[in-house]
Structure 1
């Protein structure tokens, strides 16, 4: 039976342009989705396309800055990255930790718990604590809005937003009728209704306030002054002005050689392990045989000692000396 090598699966970010209007304020929002992220059997370095896309937008903006005429520059940089965490109840997985570390270095990362209605209130609070503890332990960089403000109401709102990290979100686009007769966006279950915009059921309003509310400008400024500036400084230090970014071309031959060597190494390890097990079994068998021979010799010695003692008792000299 021969096993065919499964071809490598690759996903690409997908961009959707949305026009929003919030309280008379119009916003053109570009949403970049990454379908298929983390769905493969081998998810090693699956976050690289995301990081490459974010840095690619930085590169396009940098190229525009290097032009003699910079009027009409188009800014398509990623100002915030929402990382959706599956509500498994156990905390962050190894993939989550590595992916969040990589994305958090190049953009404003915000952790979000998807399908939060699958957890009860107490389980959700415990899961939030586990996620934040893991973020702290692994030094994952996430975006945190400024809490200090001259406006007391703004400061209180910012504290509530920070206290809700990671945001527990319930999605729903259908109109449902609540118990008091209101028509709301939500989900209908046999035990009741989950409202998307209810603070008791979801952190959707807090996340929306963070993204397109009072902190939207801070997200843009953080991208400009922190993440983009780090990328721009590094690129200007390592290449000439006007020179395009050098792309690392992966040699497929090297990858094939690496896989071949890994397979050979694995086979050799298995052979050595099997040889060691056989050698260990031979040692155990030899030990048991020696113990059995030793026991026989010991029994024989005891028998000989008994015969000698009986012989001495029956001999004339023994009787003479005994009298």
Structure 2
């Protein structure tokens, strides 16, 4: 009798031997090195916090050109007024990184900054929408992926806490992209005040339930420095006794960009480029993009155009409220005009009634006068006949 399949003993697993699965990371490294990587970085926040300078400092090259640098004749440089895209190809150790930097218009300069971050949120949604529609096509070669993998949100170094505009903007952006809050121009605050400011920002982020990118532990198990990151950005090199350094020159000395005792620039660069770039890419793919795709698939049919629900879009909700307000005001204007016209008609009717009453009284008076004249004429003829007789 032949033994059944269940009775055949399974081969023993040799844990001490090498079977080859340990080489999978090397295979993955070869594939990634051959294809390269695409990474999209966005900068957002208030105006005048040095977004362009930080990008150029972070990648040690002029990726984002200065529009109009600050000079003696032009103390206020030209600010970014629209979303601009810059691309660069960086190579290091035979590995190529296709980098895309998205510079957004600064906000907070106007009296009313309500929903000033809406163009940025719409841009993020549009990139998810564009990629989702490309996935639905029969031929998917040559897809253009502009999904943003990380957004550096610039916070003004006030030393107090997050402003309401920062809270609302970070809430709107944190659900769409890996948000990394940073404190710009950290050299304008003392070291002790800076640590207090960081802790206040963390408390507000927890209290307001703002979603930010919390970096996981390093490969050696050590915890990574939590955000926000206090940064000093500069592309100028200064000579020191220990050699040339990047930094800003002051009367008391040089605020060094790459000195961990002066700012957190080294930690941020390590987070984005050295240790957690793939984590940012995977979080964009598996969390933010999937959340957008799932929400869109629940409210529309396959192949249908993007659904712009006013309940989810602050811009269209504001436009709807403005149209409703305008319609209400127009109705009130028409009602007032109708009431005024009705009042004029009533006044005209009363005037005509009075004129009619006066005309009737005049007619009655004339009739009475005519009757009296008729009676007088009749009595005069009777008297004349009697005298003739």
TM-score, length-scaled by structure 1 = 0.70
Aligned to 2:5: none
Aligned residue-pair number: 244
> What do the CA deviations read for 1:202-239 (whole angstroms, capped 9, x no partner)?
11111111111121001000001001001001111111
3-state SS of paired residue (1:213): helix
Aligned to 2:272: 211
Q: Distance in 1 between matches of 2:246 and 2:94?
A: 21
Range with greater deviation from structure 2 (84-93 or 39-48): 39-48
Q: Distance in 2 between matches of 1:86 and 1:59?
A: 32
Match of 2:95 among 25, 28, 35: 25
Gaps of 5+ in 1: 1-9, 263-323
Bigger relative contact order, structure 1 or 2 (CA pairs below 8 A, ≥6 apart): 2
> What do the CA deviations read for 1:262-320 (whole angstroms, capped 9, x no partner)?
9xxxxxxxxxxxxxxxxxxxxxxxxxxxxxxxxxxxxxxxxxxxxxxxxxxxxxxxxxx
Q: Distance in 1 between matches of 2:91 and 2:267?
A: 17
Indicate whether 1:112 and 2:182 are aligned. Answer: yes
Match of 1:126 among 178, 184, 196: 196
Gaps of 5+ in 2: 1-79, 311-315, 330-389
- For residues 131-146 of structure 1, the aligned pairs below 5 Å read 131-146=201-216
Aligned to 1:54: 124
Aligned to 1:65: 135
Q: Considering only aligned residues, what root-mean-square deviation do their CA atoms show, in Å?
A: 2.3
Find the structure with the greater CA-based Rg.
2
Aligned to 2:66: none
- For residues 186-225 of structure 1, the aligned pairs below 5 Å read 186-225=247-286
3-state SS of paired residue (1:160): coil
Q: CA deviation at 1:241?
A: 1.2
> What do the CA deviations read for 1:53-112 (whole angstroms, capped 9, x no partner)?
001000010010000111222211001111100000111011111110110011101110
Q: Is the 8 A contact 1:114 1:170 kept in 2?
A: yes
Summarize the Cα distance change of 1:253–1:49 in structure 2 as closer, same or farther, 3 Å threshold: closer
Q: Is the 8 A contact 2:216 2:224 kept in 1?
A: no
3-state SS of paired residue (2:225): helix
3-state SS of paired residue (2:275): coil
Summarize the Cα distance change of 1:25–1:206 in structure 2 as closer, same or farther, 3 Å threshold: farther
